[in-house]
Structure 1
Amino acid sequence: MSDKKDPSVWQGFKAFLMRGNVVDLAVAVVVGAAFTNIVNAVVKGVISPVVGAIGTKNLDHYDSCLSAPCEGDQGIRIMWGSVLGAALQFLITAAVVYFLMVLPMAKFLARQEARRKAREGAEEAVEVTELEVLKEIRDELVAARRNSEYGER
């Protein structure tokens, strides 16, 4: 009984791996990991220095104390600078991804869609024109037949 289940489990696993969406997901993860390096370099090399020129590069030093003695391990510290830094890092990363990847890709896809629709519109125009020509030929043949019938009587 286990011999019968093993091949089916293997075949199921193989079918799972060969599905298109699994392969697409693997490619997306690899490309995403490579793209992360680019985004981090842009944020670290360009955007963080600009933000640092306005304020500070490292927000981790900003905190607040909930209880009076906040020296060493005593007291309760709220590390709001770290949270703010992480939020800014997220917003900056999202902006870089949007403006460098999403927006250009959306414009590219919109142009591709417009070209496709233009091609379809041209094909429909040709088909409509051909249909109109065929209707005209039919109408002329019907008119010629009627004229010949009336002329023979």
Structure 2
Amino acid sequence: MSEKNGPGLWEGFKAFLMRGNVVDLAVAVVIGAAFTNIVNSVVKGVINPLVGAFGTKDLDHYSSCLQGPCVTNADGTVESGIPIMWGTVLSSTLSFLITAAVVYFLMVLPMAKYLARQAARKAEKEGTQEVIEISELEVLKEIRDALVAQRGTGSGPESGTGAGPGSGSTPSGQ
């Protein structure tokens, strides 16, 4: 019994892992983590020093003291007071905004434009198909009308009476 359930379980798990959305998600997470490292390096290596050039220190070092005089050791541990490290929060916010902007402008916006073009092409194809179907229908109606008119004005025995098959009239002399 375990031999029968083992391969089925394994095959199901393998199918789950090989589905497109699971693999795509794994790739997105790995690339996102690598990209986050790049953005954090840019913020810490370029933006924080630029802010520090306009201010008095690096962005990560900006803080306020909530209670009492804040004293920190050289290694960054707090000796007394309660510091609020708002510079670090601002740095993280900048990292997030830069990451979001790059993802939007380099990934989301181009993909949205591509999908819109694809949808327009599909709608255009469907629109021409409708025109073709409508024109075929109109041609068939014209053929039908021509056949009915031909049958009504022809030289056969039914031509003058209009009482052909399916006309709904009955001969009156019987």
TM-score, normalised to structure 2, is 0.69
Task: Give the partner amino acid of 2:47.
Answer: S
Is 2:117 the partner of 1:108?
no
| 1:40-59 correspondence runs (5 A) | 40=39, 48=47, 52=51, 55=54, 58-59=58-59
- Of 87, 97, 103, the residue aligned with 1:81 is 87
Larger gyration radius, structure 1 or structure 2 = 2
Alignment-derived partner of residue 64 in structure 1: 64
Q: Which moved more, 1:120-129 or 1:22-31?
A: 22-31
Alignment-derived partner of residue 10 in structure 1: 10
* Residue aligned with 1:98, SS: helix
Task: After TM superposition, give the deviation of residue 109 of structure 1 in Å.
Answer: 1.3
Task: Give the partner amino acid of 1:23.
Answer: V
Which structure 1 residue ranges, 5 or more long, are not aligned? none
Task: Give the partner amino acid of 1:143.
Answer: A
Task: After TM superposition, give the deviation of residue 3 of structure 1 in Å.
Answer: 4.4
Query: Higher helix proportion, which one?
Result: 1
* Greater relative contact order structure (CA < 8 Å, 6+ sep): 1
Give the distance between the partners of 1:103 and 1:111, measured in 2 at CA: 12
Where does structure 1 differ by over 6 angstroms across 4 or more consecutive aligned residues?
none
Query: Higher strand proportion, which one?
Result: 2
Task: After TM superposition, give the deviation of residue 10 of structure 1 in Å.
Answer: 2.0
Q: Which moved more, 1:143-152 or 1:63-72?
A: 143-152
Give the distance between the partners of 2:14 and 2:26, measured in 1 at CA: 15
Task: After TM superposition, give the deviation of residue 152 of structure 1 in Å.
Answer: 8.8
TM-score, normalised to structure 1, is 0.77
How large is the RMSD of aligned CA atoms in angstroms? 3.2
- Of 135, 142, 148, the residue aligned with 1:129 is 135
What percent of counterpart residues are identical? 61
* Residue aligned with 2:112, SS: helix
Q: Which moved more, 1:64-73 or 1:132-141?
A: 64-73
Change (3 A) 1:133 1:58: farther
Which structure 2 residue ranges, 5 or more long, are not aligned? 73-78, 163-174
Give the distance between the partners of 1:39 and 1:102, measured in 2 at CA: 19
Is 2:105 the partner of 1:99?
yes
* Residue aligned with 2:61, SS: coil
> 8 Å contact 2:17–2:23 — kept in the other structure?
yes
Change (3 A) 1:142 1:151: same
Q: Which moved more, 1:105-114 or 1:22-31?
A: 22-31
